[in-house]
Amino acid sequence: MASDAPLNAQVNAQANALAHENILEAASEWLKSGRRVALATVVSTWGSSPRPVGSQLAVDDKGAMIGSVSGGCIEGAVVQEALAAIEDGKPRVLDFGVTHEQAWAVGLACGGKVQVYVERME
């Protein structure tokens, strides 16, 4: 199975990048290199939601992301709030879901609800 070896290497590298464990480490490296960073964490979910409580997304001042707080449906809005938190230093709690007034714009396709806490790393 000559094809297995490169596949293995590739997938292991991907797994390292995907692992939840590495998001804070990556954020710490960003801070050390002088980038400003905010951390978003899923703190509550209701109904079906793509990522469980505790899922995290680190965002830098250029909008670069590592990790996730949803299947991609709310990341755009979370990044905007993260950039604002990097500027003003205030933590915020964001609610997303079908009852949210912006639901039609950034709602969850799955119909669930999710609450995300955004804080500046300092």
Binding site for other proteins (CB under 8 A): 1, 4-9, 11-16, 18-21, 24-25, 27-28, 31, 39, 41, 43-44, 53-54, 90-91, 93, 117, 119, 121-122
Cβ atoms 111, 49 nearer than 8 A: no
Closer to other proteins by Cβ: residue 108 or 121: 121
Closer to other proteins by Cβ: residue 101 or 122: 122
Min dist. Cβ of residue 79 to other proteins (A): 18
Closer to other proteins by Cβ: residue 4 or 101: 4
Residue 102 CB neighbours (<10 A): 11
